[in-house]
Amino acid sequence: MAHPTTARSIQIGLAGLGNVGAGVYKNLDTNRNLILQRTGADLRVKRVAVRSLTRPRDVEVPADQLTTDWRELVADPEIEVIVELIGGIDEAAELVCAALRAGKRVVSGNKALLAERGQELFALAEECGMPIYFEAAVAGGIPIIQVLQEGLVGNHIVSIHGIINGTCNYILSRMSQAGLGYAEALQEAQEKGYAEADPTLDVSGWDAAHKAIILASLSYGFWIPADRVSVEGVQKVDREDIEFARRLGYTIKLMSVIRADEQGRVEVRTQPSMIPLNHVLAGVSGSFNAVLVHGDVVGETLFYGRGAGQDPTSSSVISDLCEAAAAVIHGPRPNGFVPHGLYGSPKPIEETVSRYYLRVTVEDRPGVVAQVATILGARQIGISSIIQPEDWDTEKEVTSLVLMLHDAQLGEVRAALAELQELDCVRAEPVMLRVEIL
């Protein structure tokens, strides 16, 4: 292998030494020579900002590199790139803004920060002439940001369907394949280091929703406000629905869907959805992520890999560090991609269309199916199949009525559900899941 004649040393300030930060520190050291050979850059972590100097860690960092104040990293004239891995929003935004203003390139894996404050941060980045790199913010080790910015730059994006939260995918996989309860599966995911520091971000669907906002911004050129995306988490997924899904030929995944309609309005939604068992996405299990991107020129493309965890996510951070180093050494490499041209607009979620699965807990007596069908029919919602299992609950004298619905607008389905709940024969809040046809 050819060696560069002169190595250029790049000094890095690493803010945050949690799971991913420790992975960056460790893997930069392990693959230092490879990176040097490939890029001509000798990537050196000069200072590391941590919350506590005494907390036990996955990696050993010399005491003189550690500080509890990230401002020291920003103030250090030798540091050319700052890696933001502190998480959260307000302090992380302060850090990124300070670094950009100090003329430092920024690498961040913070999807919540970019989704909530991206518009302002990228505007500042442009003003300062300093880029923000964010490959690690979406889908862990899968280089999906580069795919959208470079590989598919010549495509209109027709749609993206993503399984982009490793924690939720792990939970649903374990519930479905090992029969685990929700709490047990979540605990396993946390122990394996997939979950965010605050796992409610994962299980509420918001971690995936933040990633979807970032993917939508790259695909459709605008930052969709967080209050215009639809988000449901996995907390309410019931084993009964996982079982019905299987009987019907589907599995349940936390799906993020980003799609433009014919008027160019963009839906950005994340929820547990049923997908056909024979689709390749149904086989994406555990902490793995997959992103199915449909471009108008390329057709369908699928990107698969570990979406969470120390090593996969640090691989993406290191890729960004190499890009930043290349920009320092060779000057910025314009790739012709303007991420946020502000040409998209959000689609009201009530107008989004899909198929649906409904489970209605009803009294098992004559005329009940007719009442339910009448409410749906009055709103022009078609039923494609009905199951009422014979294994009914003799104590409560109720049964599950499971309906698969044809394409309908969410607003109509929600209105029908509200009417169903008013029926005397309906004994519990109906369960509704989207059915994605991929």
Joined tokens for residue 382: 């078609």
Specify the residue, 202 or 436, whose C-beta has the smaller distance to ligand HSE. Answer: 202
CA angle 244, 245, 247 (to 5 degrees): 65
> What one-character DSSP code corresponds to residue 285?
-
Per annotation, catalytic residue among 211, 236, 253, 396: 211
Residue 136: CB minimum distance to ligand HSE, A: 8
DSSP H helical ranges for 6-154: 19-30, 32-39, 71-75, 90-101, 111-128, 144-146
Q: Are strands 157-163 and 288-295 parallel, antiparallel or unpaired?
A: antiparallel
Does 21 bind ligand HSE (CB under 6 A)? Our answer is no
CB-CB contact of 34 with 27 (8 Å): no
Q: Name residue 435's beta-bridge partners.
A: 274, 355
CB-CB contact of 403 with 331 (8 Å): no
Task: Give Cα separations from 163 to 220, 344, 364, 380 (angstroms).
Answer: 19, 23, 37, 31
Residue 201: CB minimum distance to ligand HSE, A: 7
Active-site residue, 347 included? no
Of positions 39, 110, 165, 271, contacts ligand HSE by CB under 6 A: 165
Question: By rule CB under 6 A, what string of x and - marks binding of each residue 120-159 to ligand HSE?
Answer: --------------------x-------------------
Q: Name residue 405's beta-bridge partners.
A: 356, 383
Does 167 bind ligand HSE (CB under 6 A)? Our answer is yes
Specify the residue, 203 or 403, whose C-beta has the smaller distance to ligand HSE. Answer: 203
As a whole number of angstroms, the distance between CA 156 and CA 259 comes to 11
Task: Give Cα separations from 334 to 9, 38, 150, 151, 181 (angstroms).
Answer: 23, 20, 11, 14, 49
Interface stretch with ligand HSE, choices 50-58, 71-79, 190-198, 382-390 (CB under 6 A): 190-198
Specify the residue, 173 or 352, whose C-beta has the smaller distance to ligand HSE. Answer: 173
Of positions 25, 122, 133, 194, contacts ligand HSE by CB under 6 A: 194
Specify the residue, 257 or 431, whose C-beta has the smaller distance to ligand HSE. Answer: 257
Residue 140: CB minimum distance to ligand HSE, A: 5
Of positions 195, 209, 213, 426, contacts ligand HSE by CB under 6 A: 195
- E strand map for 262-414: 265-276, 288-295, 299-306, 345-346, 353-363, 383-387, 398-409
CB-CB contact of 255 with 212 (8 Å): no
Residue 427: CB minimum distance to ligand HSE, A: 35
Of positions 95, 175, 308, 431, contacts ligand HSE by CB under 6 A: 308
Specify the residue, 165 or 204, whose C-beta has the smaller distance to ligand HSE. Answer: 165
Does 307 bind ligand HSE (CB under 6 A)? Our answer is yes
Does 317 bind ligand HSE (CB under 6 A)? Our answer is no
Active site amino acids: 211
Residues that bind ligand HSE (CB under 6 A): 140, 165-167, 194-196, 202, 207, 307-308
